[in-house]
């Protein structure tokens, strides 16, 4: 969660390196209004832009659009011929994202797909291989999303997952309150797989939520 506990350091970083323009601010305000202010922070948006530019990513899949906040950060880093496919299960959230995409001037680069990712991802395989997959959706399905990403990201491409500390549960001996045993196991397995140095060059960026970043070897 991005509000409430912003440190002075984080505020400094955001102000200097990741200021939000009015469109990003409006998305954040819209998510506040529906009590879903769970998008990535601006400094993480900027980090995703760095990853995209460093790796030369052109084709990206995002699982979990929400209001399109992270989508917009990513789409803005894409080259002219870049494409972001972003998947959202909740029609009300997709509708919010769509209005912002339509105002972003980046409609050509963003394809919003509404429905269950487990059903949409198989149809995206034909559009691949992809340079990057950003996973930021229902935590219990991260294993399935990773299975798909592992098959559909090119060697040298990126797999990135948000919330991989699972709200402080992932490193505990048992699931913490409010976290299901299944989600706890799924996230441990997710990080375990991506930590395999034979298959990935990877780490977790120690954000509050945890951001696992892996380059497929």
Residues 79, 82, 87, 90: what is their CA dihedral angle, to the nearest 10 degrees? 60
CA distance 181 to 176: 9
Copy the structure tokens of residue 57: 């990513």
The alpha helices in the chain, defined as continuous H runs, are 8-17, 22-33, 42-55, 69-77, 91-104, 117-124, 142-152, 181-194
CA distance 180 to 174: 10
> Which member of 78, 124, 162, 212 binds ligand DHB (CB under 6 A)?
162
Residue with tokens 């198989």: 122
Site string for ligand DHB, 25-54 (x = CB under 6 A): -------------x----------------
Contact partner, 1, from ligand DHB, Mg ion, none, Cβ < 5-8 Å per class: ligand DHB
Least spacing, CB of residue 204 vs Mg ion, in Å: 14
Least spacing, CB of residue 64 vs ligand DHB, in Å: 6
Copy the structure tokens of residue 22: 């009015």
Residues of span 162-201 touching Mg ion by CB under 5 A: 162-163
Least spacing, CB of residue 197 vs ligand DHB, in Å: 27
Site string for ligand DHB, 102-141 (x = CB under 6 A): ----------------------------------x-----
Contact partner, 62, from ligand DHB, Mg ion, none, Cβ < 5-8 Å per class: none
132: β partners:
60, 158
Q: Is 62 in the site for Mg ion (CB under 5 A)?
A: no
Task: Kindly list the residues in this chain that would bind ligand DHB in the complex (CB under 6 A).
Answer: 1, 38, 136, 162-163, 209
């Amino acid at each position: 969660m991005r509000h409430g506990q912003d440190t002075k350091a984080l505020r400094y970083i955001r102000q200097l390196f990741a200021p939000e323009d009015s469109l990003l601010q409006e998305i954040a305000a819209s998510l506040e209004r529906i009590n879903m202010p769970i998008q990535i922070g601006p400094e993480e948006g900027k980090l995703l832009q760095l990853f995209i530019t460093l790796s030369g990513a052109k084709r990206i899949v995002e699982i979990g659009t929400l209001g399109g906040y992270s989508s917009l950060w990513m789409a803005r880093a894409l080259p002219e011929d870049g494409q972001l496919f972003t998947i959202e299960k909740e029609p009300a959230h997709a509708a919010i994202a769509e209005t912002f995409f339509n105002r972003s001037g980046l409609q050509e680069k963003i394809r919003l797909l509404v429905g269950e990712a487990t059903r949409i991802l198989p149809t995206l395989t034909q559009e691949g291989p992809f340079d990057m997959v950003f996973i930021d959706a229902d935590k219990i399905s991260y294993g399935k999303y990773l299975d798909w990403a592992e098959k559909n990201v090119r060697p040298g491409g990126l797999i990135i997952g948000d919330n991989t500390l699972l709200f402080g549960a992932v490193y505990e001996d048992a699931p913490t309150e409010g976290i299901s045993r299944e989600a706890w196991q799924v996230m441990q397995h997710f990080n375990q797989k991506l930590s395999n140095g034979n298959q990935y060059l990877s780490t977790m960026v120690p954000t509050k939520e945890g951001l696992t970043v892996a380059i497929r070897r």
